[in-house]
């Protein structure tokens, strides 16, 4: 339904060379600032990680001492192991999430200290200074101990280097402390240079605590300890018996203990007595399968390598990854915003499988084995909107692996993922986003996956009305076209809109696969949002199941995540335009272009637009759907970029959402945006940079590159030329088969 121009492309046969053309001399690493997003609830962390790493080493500064840590993890809703404005560090966590909205992982915490052994993080924690972070590297000086702590990581191992002064020193491995709400750990000191164990994690977003699961580790120390042991702090017993318990609630130091210990508040320590300043390197391999696999991951990825060697390898991996885009022009800050965003898109989805291919299957608890990469952390409610589109463009081989991982989950579990984390379905957020990702990937021309299975899986979640975990209320949705506010489903308006978008994606794939009946059925289903459009209020708003409007409707309710009948994480304003598959239909409902424009203006004027959340974050681009008003899109997008994105810790407007916000800024700074999920349609605004060269995978994009050239004089009025031909409207369907060499902005 959008203006489409076919682009002729020369078909050249290549032998598969992964990103062969990407290896230029350009070094993007100086433009990565891992501190961006570590404040303002961006929820990223400046820790060291390899691209899509299972392990990472993040400074952990969110526990205790609210005087020094204003954003203390238990004092509010806080979802990250590190906050830039906090000052009290209690260690370095070795499995971490980036940019999510709920606390999880942030465990297997090491901490170097000096002097007498102290195992209580409130006592051993310290302020820090001289903090630096790069892609794959983090360092800080721990003030209390005069210890320099440095960290890097391979895919499945964190590697740290602690530079101790002379004297008594300790390395603590705290398994009690953590960001997750799950408790329980096991630790076993294997010898003076090795500790193994596990930690329970899970219950992400306070959901599905039944599925909480173990993460295993093996820690190796470059120098054998002079002394070692385990500590355990038991819960305080309140009963009569406590009068005989001299040890009640007190920390026990199990010196030299080499048996297994389990408990909620436990840890192990290595103690040294250095005659002169010394470095200790600590390598920690992790696995979601077993201690043996953690040991193998560590041996094969790190082995005898030094800290410097691991660091060099990881930096090189990042360099290759980020060289996919080469930008010219723009300020240093703009480049840093851009490359840091790209960096942030390469953290999740992350690797789940061990180096031997093993991983825990979803839900079944069986150990599966993959030949490629099994990805995890699918925040699909976020990522279906733009993230996977960007991956299809820049890293198509990874996007295909992600799709294959999603289909493996269907094989294992009988269902596609919704918000999958480490092979648990966390049931976070609403809708049926997997269908969109699968259809979108296929329709962008990445077809090397079992599309019939994908289609079957999509149909199952769209049609199975018995114990369907993905689409609660499906029967009512099918019967009535919407979910009633008097029903069981939270956020019935939002959910109806999400189901519409998923159904539209199914329709698009059905059309492509020649399934005409399905196409018609799902296209029809995808338009049912109209039943919730109230021409009187001009809102998409909650209805009772009997068809009457919900009486207590307030379009302003629900801001700041307050509970709001009808909507999830938003209000009626924020969901008003969330019909990306039928913008013209919505426009018509509203009375045409002028009314649509006025309503969009009103949204921004009334400050009801939320840059920090997904439902409305592409609304600025909707001006491109109003002939003659396209300039407002460029104007608005640049205003948003300037307002919300900075080369500063607070430089992401809220949770990065596993790279979804980052995908938004990457696209927006490039001046192109995939406006409709499951349709390869791009829309355009003035780019930020003068020139962007994308080095594309020739297996998927035959040209091997896309050049975006920005020759505009005004940021408002733009003309877009695709391979030399001007397009009439700033909306274009681009698949890998009609993919241009150059997009020129005039």
> Using CA atoms, how far apart are residues 701 and 713, in angstroms rounded to an integer?
30
536 binds a copy of itself (CB under 8 A): no
245 binds a copy of itself (CB under 8 A): yes
* Residue 351: strand, helix, or coil: strand
266 vs 434, which CB is nearer to a copy of itself?
266
Among 264, 464, 690, 705, binds a copy of itself (CB under 8 A): 264
524 binds a copy of itself (CB under 8 A): no
Residue 672: beta bridge partners? 684
Three-class secondary structure assignment of 585-627: HHHHHHCCHHHHHHHHHHHHHCCCCCCCCHHHCCHHHHHHHCC
294 binds a copy of itself (CB under 8 A): no
561 binds a copy of itself (CB under 8 A): no
* Pair of tokens at residue 273: 């007595």
Stretch that binds a copy of itself, among 73-81, 128-136, 339-347, 651-659 (CB under 8 A): 73-81
Half-sphere exposure of 687 (CA within 13 A, CB side): 28
Among 144, 168, 254, 511, binds a copy of itself (CB under 8 A): 254
> Using CA atoms, how far apart are residues 552 and 545, in angstroms rounded to an integer?
15
75 binds a copy of itself (CB under 8 A): yes
224 binds a copy of itself (CB under 8 A): no
Window 166-185: contact mask with a copy of itself (x via CB under 8 A): ---------------xxxxx
256 vs 591, which CB is nearer to a copy of itself?
256
Edge to edge, the sheet with strand 419-421 lists 378-379, 419-421, 424-425
Measured between alpha carbons, how far is residue 497 from residues 42, 494, 529, 574 in Å? 26, 5, 6, 12
106 binds a copy of itself (CB under 8 A): no
Window 184-203: contact mask with a copy of itself (x via CB under 8 A): xxx-----------x-x--x
CB of 252 to a copy of itself, least distance (A): 5
CB of 58 to a copy of itself, least distance (A): 20
214 binds a copy of itself (CB under 8 A): yes
Among 256, 277, 591, 592, binds a copy of itself (CB under 8 A): 256
Pairing of the two strands 539-540 and 378-379: unpaired
67 binds a copy of itself (CB under 8 A): no
Phi–psi pair at 503, nearest 5 degrees: -65, -35
275 binds a copy of itself (CB under 8 A): no
141 binds a copy of itself (CB under 8 A): no
To the nearest 10 degrees (0 to 180), the angle between helices 593-605 and 583-590 is 90
258 vs 544, which CB is nearer to a copy of itself?
258
Three-class secondary structure assignment of 184-211: CEEEEEEECCEEEEEEEECCHHHCCHHH
CB of 218 to a copy of itself, least distance (A): 15
215 vs 578, which CB is nearer to a copy of itself?
215
> Using CA atoms, how far apart are residues 389 and 591, in angstroms rounded to an integer?
31
562 binds a copy of itself (CB under 8 A): no
Among 132, 206, 488, 728, binds a copy of itself (CB under 8 A): 206
Residue 56: beta bridge partners? 49
H/E element, 128:
strand 128-134
Measured between alpha carbons, how far is residue 707 from residues 67, 262, 459, 639, 672 in Å? 51, 57, 38, 24, 12
303 binds a copy of itself (CB under 8 A): no
Measured between alpha carbons, how far is residue 146 from residues 164, 280, 535 in Å? 7, 14, 67
Among 29, 262, 459, 478, binds a copy of itself (CB under 8 A): 262
CB of 208 to a copy of itself, least distance (A): 9
Stretch that binds a copy of itself, among 112-120, 230-238, 490-498, 511-519 (CB under 8 A): 230-238
237 binds a copy of itself (CB under 8 A): yes
* Residue 396: strand, helix, or coil: helix
114 vs 271, which CB is nearer to a copy of itself?
271
Among 84, 121, 220, 232, binds a copy of itself (CB under 8 A): 232
Closest residue by Cα to residue 168 from 145, 148, 150: 145
CB of 234 to a copy of itself, least distance (A): 6
246 vs 628, which CB is nearer to a copy of itself?
246
Among 62, 261, 324, 380, binds a copy of itself (CB under 8 A): 261
Tell me which DSSP letter residue 720 carries.
E
CB of 237 to a copy of itself, least distance (A): 7
CB neighbour class for 546 (10 Å; exposed up to 12, middle 13-18, buried from 19): exposed
> Using CA atoms, how far apart are residues 572 and 559, in angstroms rounded to an integer?
10
Q: Which of residues 24-53 bind a copy of itself (CB under 8 A)?
A: none
* Residue 113: strand, helix, or coil: strand
304 binds a copy of itself (CB under 8 A): no
Among 17, 85, 226, 235, binds a copy of itself (CB under 8 A): 235
Contact 185, 260 (CB under 8 A): no
Closest residue by Cα to residue 548 from 532, 524, 565: 532
427 binds a copy of itself (CB under 8 A): no
469 binds a copy of itself (CB under 8 A): no
> Using CA atoms, how far apart are residues 351 and 169, in angstroms rounded to an integer?
34
185 vs 692, which CB is nearer to a copy of itself?
185
Residue 295: beta bridge partners? none
Q: Which of residues 331-360 bind a copy of itself (CB under 8 A)?
A: 360
Which residues contribute to the site for a copy of itself (CB under 8 A)?
73-77, 103, 181-186, 198, 200, 203, 206, 209-214, 232, 234-235, 237, 239-241, 244-247, 252-264, 360, 364-366
């Amino acid at each position: 339904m959008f203006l489409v121009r076919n682009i002729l492309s020369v078909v050249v046969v290549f032998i598969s060379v992964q990103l062969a053309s990407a290896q230029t001399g350009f070094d993007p690493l100086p433009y990565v600032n891992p501190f961006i997003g570590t404040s303002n609830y961006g929820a990223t962390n400046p820790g060291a990680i390899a691209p899509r790493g299972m392990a990472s080493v993040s400074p952990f500064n969110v526990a205790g001492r609210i005087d020094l840590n204003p954003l203390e993890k238990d004092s509010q809703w806080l979802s990250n192991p590190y906050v830039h404005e906090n000052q009290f560090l209690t260690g370095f966590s070795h499995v971490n999430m980036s940019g999510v909205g709920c606390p999880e992982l942030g465990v297997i915490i090491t901490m170097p200290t000096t002097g007498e052994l102290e195992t209580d993080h409130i006592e051993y924690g310290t302020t820090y200074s001289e903090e630096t972070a790069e892609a794959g590297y983090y360092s800080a000086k721990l003030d209390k101990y005069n210890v320099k702590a440095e960290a890097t990581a391979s895919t499945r191992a964190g590697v740290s280097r602690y530079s101790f002064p002379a004297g008594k020193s300790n390395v603590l491995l705290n398994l009690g402390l953590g960001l997750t709400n799950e408790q329980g750990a096991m630790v076993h000191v294997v010898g003076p240079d090795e500790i193994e164990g596990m930690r329970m994690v899970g219950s992400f977003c306070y959901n599905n605590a039944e599925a909480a699961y173990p993460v295993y580790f093996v820690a190796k120390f470059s120098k054998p300890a002079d002394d070692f042991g385990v500590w355990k702090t038991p819960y305080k017993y309140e009963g009569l018996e406590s009068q005989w318990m001299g040890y009640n609630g007190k920390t026990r130091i199990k010196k030299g203990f080499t048996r297994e210990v389990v408990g909620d508040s436990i840890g192990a320590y290595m103690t040294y007595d250095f005659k002169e300043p010394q470095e200790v390197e600590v390598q920690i391999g992790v696995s979601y399968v077993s201690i043996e696999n953690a040991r193998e991951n560590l041996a094969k990825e790190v082995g005898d390598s030094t800290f410097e060697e691991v660091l060099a390898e990881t930096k090189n991996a990042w360099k290759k990854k980020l060289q996919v885009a080469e930008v010219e022009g723009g300020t240093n800050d703009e480049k840093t915003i851009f490359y840091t965003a790209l960096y942030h898109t390469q953290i999740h989805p992350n690797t789940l499988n061990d180096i031997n291919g093993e991983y825990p299957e979803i839900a079944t608890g069986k150990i599966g084995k993959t030949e490629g990469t099994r990805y995890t952390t699918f925040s699909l409610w976020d990522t279906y909107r733009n993230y996977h589109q960007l991956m299809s463009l820049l890293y198509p081989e990874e996007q295909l692996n992600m799709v294959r991982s999603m289909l493996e989950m269907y094989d294992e579990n009988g269902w596609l993922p919704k918000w999958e984390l480490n092979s648990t379905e966390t049931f976070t957020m609403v809708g049926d986003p997997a269908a969109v990702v699968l259809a979108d990937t296929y329709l962008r021309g990445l077809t090397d996956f079992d599309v019939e299975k994908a289609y079957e899986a999509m149909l199952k979640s769209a049609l199975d009305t018995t114990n369907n975990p993905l689409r609660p209320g499906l029967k009512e949705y099918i019967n009535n076209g919407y979910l009633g506010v008097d029903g069981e489903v939270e956020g019935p308006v939002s959910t109806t809109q999400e189901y519409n978008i998923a159904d539209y994606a199914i329709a698009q794939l059905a059309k492509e696969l020649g399934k005409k009946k399905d196409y018609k059925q799902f296209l029809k289903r995808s338009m049912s949002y109209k039943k919730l459009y109230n021409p009187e209020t001009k809102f998409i708003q909650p209805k009772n199941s009997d068809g009457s409007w919900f009486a207590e409707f307030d379009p302003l309710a629900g801001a700041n995540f307050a509970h709001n009948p009808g909507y999830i994480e938003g209000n009626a304003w924020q969901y008003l335009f969330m019909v990306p598959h039928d913008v013209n239909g919505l426009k018509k409902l509203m009375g045409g272009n002028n009314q649509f424009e006025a309503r969009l203006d009103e949204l921004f004027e009334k400050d009801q637009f939320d840059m920090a959340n997904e439902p409305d974050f592409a609304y600025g681009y909707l001006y491109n759907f109003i002939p003659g008003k396209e300039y407002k899109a460029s104007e608005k997008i640049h205003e948003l970029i300037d307002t919300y994105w900075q080369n500063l810790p607070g430089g992401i407007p809220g949770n990065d959402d596993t790279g979804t916000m980052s995908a938004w800024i990457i696209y927006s700074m490039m001046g192109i945006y995939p406006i409709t999920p499951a349709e390869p349609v791009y829309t355009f605004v003035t780019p930020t940079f003068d020139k962007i060269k994308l080095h594309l995978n020739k297996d998927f994009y035959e040209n091997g590159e896309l050049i975006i050239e920005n020759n505009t004089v005004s940021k408002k009025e733009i003309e877009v030329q695709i391979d030399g031909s001007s397009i009439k409207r700033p909306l274009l369907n681009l698949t890998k088969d009609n993919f241009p060499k150059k997009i020129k902005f005039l």
